[in-house]
């Protein structure tokens, strides 16, 4: 039973029908379809100007992600495109994607900046997160990722990295914190991006200004980013393909969520997936997300991520659903409001045209989402 956008009671039909409020309630007939909490996609790079389809042929021919980046492609390619795009165009593009997310059953997303990498462009992205959160039904949780890579104009200069870190620490992060433009501060801790020491500097500055850490960790190599994240109280450590046993132990003892993004490995054709089974079996909190972005994971389908998690990460369908809802909500500090179907929680629901919940990941690449509801409002319904 739903009332005023909130779940007021949950249970078998016989019990709900006996409630006093049932008499005046409107019945939504679902004909045996499966209802889940709306997906919480806890890692996306929503705002970007264009795809990187021009890099796709190279990737398929076997040119590596890092090699493409060294040749001026990769993240810097997207940065160039974003800087040349008006906020209005970026917003229109993001709006279309948000409608698509809703069609796939997602009701809350995290969104990272990180394709601006200068003061005005990063602030433009974060302002768009705010505007979009207010103007359309999906909830957007904003993360500052100024430390995605060192931008081109700072590279090759004697103290380029140091100067860019100074810009982040002394200008951008204080501005973002004071104006409430983000809840989280993220960093891409990887060779070719930022070292552990540099990442520590950025995340510590974020914390000082009220931004809780998240970290892109152990995606292409083991850097120690996961242990750094845990040490700094990160909400989430994401990617984790190159996790070591010591990292798994550390995660299992911490409240940091291990957010796995198998869409990246799938898109890049990499064989090394994150050790999901070991993480779950050792007691770590595992979430799944799309990592929707133009470089490594151009998908906004959580169902596809669930399929990959089942077949490649060997997670059970039930584990994938918990990972894509309540565990992801926990990593975004919203588990009291969203991520499960319980009385008192927001009426964020996704209804699937399937006979069994396992059919959601089973039909891979197929969108079985039939209806999506955010705070009790229908935001998508298949005709
Ligand atoms: O999560 N790893 C860093 N950031 C993104 C990729 C960004 C890009 O290639 O545009 C990721 O995979
Ligand atoms: Fe990412």
Tens of pLDDT along 205-217? 999 999 999 999 9
pLDDT at 156 over 90: no
Helix, strand or coil, per DSSP, at residue 81: helix
The protein residue with its alpha carbon nearest to ligand 1, atom 5, reads 296
Q: Is 113 touching ligand 1 by the criterion CB < 6 Å?
A: no
Nearest CA to ligand 1 atom 1: 291
Per-residue pLDDT tens over the stretch 37-93: 999 999 999 999 999 999 999 999 999 999 999 888 999 999 999 999 999 999 999
Q: What tokens appear for 159 in the block?
A: 């103290």
Phi-psi region of 278 (alpha: psi -120 to 50; beta: other; left: phi over 0): alpha
Q: Is 77 in the pocket of ligand 1 (CB under 6 A)?
A: no
Q: How many whole angstroms from 277 Cα to the centroid of ligand 1?
A: 24
Q: Are 144 and 181 in contact (CB under 8 A)?
A: yes
* pLDDT score for 56: 95
Taking each helix axis from N to C end, the angle separating 119-135 and 75-83, rounded to the nearest 10 degrees, works out to 80
Q: Which of 77, 69, 42, 49 is nearest to 190 (CA)?
A: 69
Residues in contact with 166: Cβ distance below 8 Å, sequence separation at least 6, in sequence order:
none
- Average pLDDT of the residues of the chain: 97
Between the CA of 356 and the centroid of ligand 1 the distance, in Å, is 34
Please identify, by atom number, the ligand 1 atom nearest to the C-alpha of residue 216: 2
Q: What are phi and psi of 367, to 5 degrees?
A: -90, 105
Mean pLDDT of the region 129-143: 98
Contacts of 91 (CB under 8 A, 6+ apart): 128, 131, 132
- In whole angstroms, how far apart are CA 162 and each of 61, 114, 244, 257? 36, 18, 29, 30
DSSP letters for 218-277: SSSS--SHHHHHHHTT-SEEEE-TT--HHHHHHHHTSS-EEEE-HHHHHHHT------HH
Q: CA–CA separation, 247 vs 229, rounded Å?
A: 11
Contacts of 13 (CB under 8 A, 6+ apart): none
- For ligand 1, pick from 242, 288, 295 the residue to mutate: most ligand atoms within 8 Å of CB: 295
Report if pTM > 0.85: yes
Rounded Cα gap, residues 227 and 246, in angstroms: 9
Burial class (CB in 10 A: 0-12, 13-18, 19+), 130: middle
Ligand 1 near 294 CB (within 6 A):
yes
Cβ of 188 less than 6 Å from ligand 1: yes
Mean pLDDT within 356-375: 98
Instruction: Return the residue matching tokens 């995605």.
Output: 148
Distance in Å, CA 44 to ligand 2 centroid: 6
User: What percent of the chain has a predicted confidence (pLDDT) above 90?
Assistant: 99
Cβ of 75 closer than 6 Å to ligand 1, yes or no, is yes
């Amino acid at each position: 039973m739903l009332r005023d956008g909130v779940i007021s009671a949950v249970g078998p039909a016989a019990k709900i029908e006996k409630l006093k409020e049932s008499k005046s309630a409107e019945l939504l007939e679902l004909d045996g379809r499966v209802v889940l909490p709306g997906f919480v996609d806890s890692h996306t790079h929503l705002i970007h100007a264009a795809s990187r389809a021009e890099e796709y042929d190279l990737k398929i021919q076997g040119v590596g992600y890092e090699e493409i980046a060294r040749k001026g492609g990769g993240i810097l390619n997207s940065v160039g495109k974003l800087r040349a795009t008006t906020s209005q165009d970026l917003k229109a593009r993001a709006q279309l994607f948000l409608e698509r997310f809703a069609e796939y059953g997602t009701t809350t997303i995290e969104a990272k900046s990180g394709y601006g990498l200068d003061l005005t462009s990063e602030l433009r992205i974060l302002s768009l997160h705010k505007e979009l959160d207010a103007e359309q039904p999906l909830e957007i949780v904003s993360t500052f990722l100024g430390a995605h890579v060192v931008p081109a104009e700072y590279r090759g200069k004697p103290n380029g990295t140091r100067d860019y870190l100074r810009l982040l620490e002394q200008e951008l992060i204080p501005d973002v914190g004071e104006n409430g433009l983000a809840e989280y501060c993220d960093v891409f801790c990887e060779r070719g991006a930022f070292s552990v020491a540099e990442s520590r500097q950025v995340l510590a500055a974020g914390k000082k200004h009220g931004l809780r850490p998240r970290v892109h960790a152990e995606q292409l190599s083991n850097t120690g980013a996961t242990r750094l994240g845990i040490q700094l109280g990160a909400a989430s450590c994401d990617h984790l393909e190159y996790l070591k046993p010591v990292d798994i132990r550390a995660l299992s003892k911490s409240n940091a969520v291990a957010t796995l993004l198998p869409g990246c490995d799938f898109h890049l054709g990499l064989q090394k997936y994150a050790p999901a089974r070991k993480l779950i079996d050792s007691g770590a909190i595992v979430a799944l997300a799309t990592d929707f972005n133009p470089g490594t994971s151009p998908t906004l389908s959580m169902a596809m991520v669930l399929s990959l998690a089942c077949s490649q990460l060997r997670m059970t369908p039930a584990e994938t659903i918990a990972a894509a809802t309540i565990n992801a909500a926990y990593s975004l500090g919203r588990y009291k409001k969203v991520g499960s179907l319980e009385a008192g929680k927001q009426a964020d629901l996704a209804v699937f045209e399937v006979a069994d919940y396992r059919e959601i990941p089973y039909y891979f690449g197929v969108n079985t989402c039939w209806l999506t509801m955010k705070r009790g409002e229908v935001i998508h319904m298949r005709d």
